[in-house]
Chain A
């Protein structure tokens, strides 16, 4: 089935997730959709699979315009999506998951369905015990089940959203083989990924998205540099911070292993002296957050030691990290950083470093006014934080950081800020490093990483390379982020 998306736009509040996207996918091909996290890939695919409805634009299947209002409807017309996090029911059995969503009569003919499951599975050499609980299956097996479930429902266009983030390399090979076989059968496969190498080896054609738009479309094979440029932009710049006087170690990681349910970062050793700025690069979810959170005391490493200013901190509670001078600035502005429903004055009162019993509202108002001035926040002391624009919320987050800290841990410190504000904020941050603050920050902006850091930790699927910024150019960084040099 040929898929055409025409002029699709979708916004969430002020964010344009998709901005006039036009994309055409030939029948029976393996089409790659490449882009950084937040580029708008998932939104576009959720629109195609009926999960979201677009603000504007139309979808054509085999040249016929269709209007999708629900995932069930899109499956009925033959479009099915395999989500990044499996949308299945881990407490149910394999067979129950298989028959969920199928337009059956009210009576369940389990015998027939069981045969169908086994028949479909054997087509692709998948092995399932239909009565096993889904929670006993690996993520890879759950994907396999979801694929044959969708095929069982008659899906002819299969969308896979970042399917390889949580599966083993054998399962990945198996998945790729399955996808190739599906296209041989005439099915259309859309493979959404941010991993350059995977897309290059698997797809026959690749569309690249950035900032909600399609920035390029090329048939494979194509040189990596070209894809990197389409993903990250054209400019080729070189890291600048070369000779910076550094002090005593502020943060020491010794042989740290830290993991969550899908990813493990193994045996990281790192020493960060006072005044150093370290950028954490990598596509979203490659392990940067695990390392940053463990430095903040929010995630306990399974192995290894963390020391702040030579003080052993491993396993200590988050509040001890705060007392030791660690400040953490989360990425989620209204989710984690700011408190919706409270004003800037109230936020200022919350960070009062010497609180007495009663709140000194006059002092809080003064503090708020000062920070508004210093950080150029467009708002009043009495403004509720949710009424601020995204960029001003970001400024507020920065403004609320404690004035004295040994170690600043920041996720996307300048996201949503214009060039001028970014420049200004980094000037303030670098002033802090002169006073001995070390900074670790996550960013997906390669220019920012090269421009502001002394060293860059590059993450790829939990593996880490350390790169000196001085003399490194954007292309080298982009390629490493895409996985070059990690195998």
Chain B
């Protein structure tokens, strides 16, 4: 039986077993080592550098935490859209729009209210910005018949261009306009940090709370149950009388909103640059897609895996600083991990279907 035929006959998915997953991860490390060898670096040295780059000092760990929070928020959001069976590739744009809305609100109210109130309002604005952008992708899919992947990609580009326009145009720094971003906000509008540990408990806490709430919503509420029904069988869900459009838009809105919150974190976070700049989403949204794929939509596993990915992302910066290697090697390792786990999953279901014959 060829894979397509097998797929046509078994329309449910198989989950890769634990052993298969561990094997895939080991294989990814071996391949990564191979890439490093080609580049003329000792793999052990590189892995050690990544680890020390992530855990070598409190400041470095703080950076990891700073990267972890937005990935957590986005992963939580993606659990919702994946549950509904859609690929929210537009999540990067949703982060950006969150950052744009948050920045806009901060600029508007900068001197009028207490900093805490402004920060909270900015968080709402960020959530709304991302949610609206997400729902736009959803609306394009539902009413314009545009696949959410293409719609999302297009909206990512538009959001990116919008930041360039804002940074060079209406929101440019006094005097000079440069792509390095808008005028940074004063420290009063930063999230408060621990002394000597440049990370705010609020960021990571927000991510963990979002993850917990999403898990609760998907498992415990009728909203989550129906959303999962839609994701697993659109037609059957429709026939059961579930209002598909409403639920789909809500899923996009929720995911976009959480991504928008990540955008807010990227503006006001402790180790952030405290302004709006092009590419502010930094690929965290795509990274979150990898996390959720790797964990097979498990919220529980998404927490440590997103942390692990943040470690690789931040740690691999050391490869650039100390070995003149490109820091995107971190991305290579992350990508390899996901690819191999997915391939292993594919192989496993193929072998299983062959055994059934």
Contact = CB atoms under 8 A, between A and B. Distances in A.
A386 B232 CA distance: 12
Contacts of A342: 228-229, 232
A359 B225 contact: yes
Contact of B239 (A337, A340, A361): A337
Interface stretch (B8-16, B25-33, B103-111): B8-16
**Dominant secondary structure at the B interface:** helix
B314 to A, nearest CB: 36
B355 interface: no
Contacts of A350: 225-226, 229, 240, 242
A107 interface: no
B233 A339 contact: yes
A340 B233 contact: yes
A342 B320 CA distance: 47
A358 B221 contact: yes
12 contacts: A13-B9, A328-B239, A335-B233, A335-B236, A341-B12, A341-B233, A346-B225, A346-B229, A351-B240, A352-B222, A357-B221, A361-B220
A328 B232 CA distance: 20
Given A334-B11, A339-B232, A359 B241 contact: no
B55 to A, nearest CB: 39
Nearest to A341: B232
User: Which of A13, A350, A356 has the most chain B CB atoms closer than 10 A to its own CB?
Assistant: A350
A300 to B, nearest CB: 15
B238 interface: yes
B235 A318 contact: no
B56 interface: no
User: Which of B223, B232, B241 has the most chain A CB atoms closer than 10 A to its own CB?
Assistant: B241
Contact of A340 (B221, B222, B232, B240): B232
Top 4 nearest A-B pairs (CB, nearest first) are A340-B12, A355-B222, A339-B233, A322-B241
A359 B13 contact: no
Nearest to B357: A55
Nearest to B5: A52
A338 B239 CA distance: 10
A340 B9 contact: no
B243 interface: yes
Interface string B232-256: 1101111111110000000000000
A336 B240 CA distance: 9
Contacts of B221: 357-359
B117 to A, nearest CB: 30
Report the interface size class on chain B. Answer: 20 to 34
Contacts of B222: 349, 352, 355-359
Contacts of A12: 9
Interface in B180-227: 220-226
Contacts of B13: 341
Contacts of B9: 12-13
A328 B237 CA distance: 13
A339 B229 contact: yes
Interface in A300-347: 318-319, 322, 328, 330, 334-342, 346
A71 to B, nearest CB: 14
A340 B14 CA distance: 12
Interface in A2-52: 12-13
A318 B241 contact: yes
A336 B243 CA distance: 16
A19 B13 CA distance: 29
Interface of A: 12-13, 318-319, 322, 328, 330, 334-342, 346, 349-352, 355-359, 361, 386
Contacts of B241: 318-319, 322
Nearest to B241: A322
Contact of A339 (B220, B223, B236): B236
A340 B12 CA distance: 6
Contacts of B11: 334-335, 340
A14 B202 CA distance: 55
A358 B221 CA distance: 4
A386 B243 CA distance: 24
B200 to A, nearest CB: 32
B220 A338 contact: no
Contacts of A356: 222
Given A342-B229, A386-B12, 10 more contacts: A318-B238, A334-B12, A335-B11, A336-B235, A341-B12, A346-B228, A350-B225, A350-B229, A356-B222, A359-B221
A71 B12 CA distance: 28
Contacts of A339: 229, 232-233, 236-237
Contacts of B240: 350-351
B221 to A, nearest CB: 5
Nearest to A360: B222
A13 to B, nearest CB: 7
A4 B222 CA distance: 57
Interface in B44-65: none
A384 B188 CA distance: 54
A122 B221 CA distance: 67
Contacts of B224: 359
Nearest to A364: B225
A343 to B, nearest CB: 11
A409 to B, nearest CB: 11
User: Which of B13, B232, B236, B243 has the most chain A CB atoms closer than 10 A to its own CB?
Assistant: B236
A357 B241 CA distance: 17
Nearest to A400: B240
B222 to A, nearest CB: 4
A335 B235 contact: yes
Nearest to A337: B236
A358 B216 CA distance: 9
A334 B232 CA distance: 11
A341 B85 CA distance: 13
Contacts of A357: 221-223
A399 to B, nearest CB: 14
Contacts of B236: 335-339
B35 to A, nearest CB: 36
B246 to A, nearest CB: 11
A355 to B, nearest CB: 4
A342 B240 CA distance: 14
